[in-house]
Structure 1
Amino acid sequence: MVGRRRFAAGLLAGLLARPASAQPAYGRPPPPPPLRLEPPPGRPPGPRLVWQPGHWVRARRDYVWVPGQWVRIRRGGWVHGHWEERRRGPVWIPGGWR
């Protein structure tokens, strides 16, 4: 539930922060903006939690910042999410435990 609220807040803040003229009129979407430096807000709020940094997601033809959050540690190693260039434009590959 908290993740949905953060996503909605990030979506709204990102849409309000970017001018409409920054959106492309047609063609391929622009590459995502540079990642923001988002250090963890203090110590983990509980045991076995790790900070997942924020990232950009596409919202139609624009990008919206999704803030970082604390996630529970699972088996395997953490792989950060990243943008992958595809034929129709950049695609977000979410991070996760692999």
Structure 2
Amino acid sequence: MESTMNRKSSALILCAGLALACVGFVATPAAQAQGIGVGVSVGIGVPPPPPRYEPVPAPRFGYVWAPGYWMWSPRMHRHVWVGGRWVRGRPGWRYLPPHWDRGPHGNWHFSDGYWAR
């Protein structure tokens, strides 16, 4: 009798854990689909190099070209180039690409690309 109760309790705990894990996996993409995100600010003392020249490909229906940009790599302690890519268009919106701005204290701050009306 006791081993049956232990098995049922273990099975119940396992099912509850799996259900919670599934909720986490399902909830994250739904939040992202609604445009809810987490912003991360990077402030460094090293300015990004000048943008690289990238030829813009021929227009692609339903997409907007997001140009390449320099991203700071803390692991490599330098900027690395992220090549341009196609981003699915949003009617009535315009895409503002990622960029670097110099802050009031001389640090450089990175802003990720986003959609604006």
TM-score normalised by length of structure 2: 0.51
Structure 2 portions without partners, runs of 5+: 1-43
Letter of the 1:35 counterpart: P
Instruction: Write 1 or 2 for the structure with the bigger share of helix.
Output: 2
Matching of residue 68 in structure 1 with residue 58 in structure 2? no
Distance, in Å, in 1 between the alignment partners of 2:57 and 2:81 is 17
**How do residues 11-50 of structure 1 correspond to structure 2 at under 5 angstroms?**
29-44=45-60, 47-50=61-64
Q: How many residues align?
A: 69
| Residue 58, structure 1, aligned to residue 76, structure 2 | no
What SS does the aligned partner of 1:92 have?
A: strand
| Distance of 1:94 and 1:79 partners within structure 2 | 9
Opposite residue 93 of structure 1, the aligned amino acid is: S
Alpha-carbon shift at residue 43 of structure 1 (Å): 4.1
| Partner secondary structure for residue 41 of structure 1 | coil
CA RMSD, 1 decimal: 1.9
User: What are structure 1's unaligned runs of at least 5 residues?
Assistant: 1-27
Tell me: higher relative CO, structure 1 or 2? Use CA pairs within 8 A at least 6 residues apart: 1
Give the Cα–Cα distance (whole angstroms) in 1 for the partners of residues 78 and 45 of structure 2: 8
Instruction: Give the SS at the match of 1:64.
Output: strand
State the alpha-carbon separation in 2 of the partners of residues 43 and 78 from structure 1.
15
The question of 1:78 aligning with 2:95 is answered yes
Instruction: Please tell me whether Structure 1 or Structure 2 has the larger radius of gyration of its CA atoms.
Output: 2
Q: Which runs of 4+ in 1 moved over 3 A?
A: none
Q: Deviations over 1:59-98 (max 9, x none)?
A: 1231000000001111322223221113372111112211
- Of all paired residues, the percent bearing the same amino acid is 36
> For residues 96 and 62 of structure 1, what CA distance do their matches in structure 2 show?
24
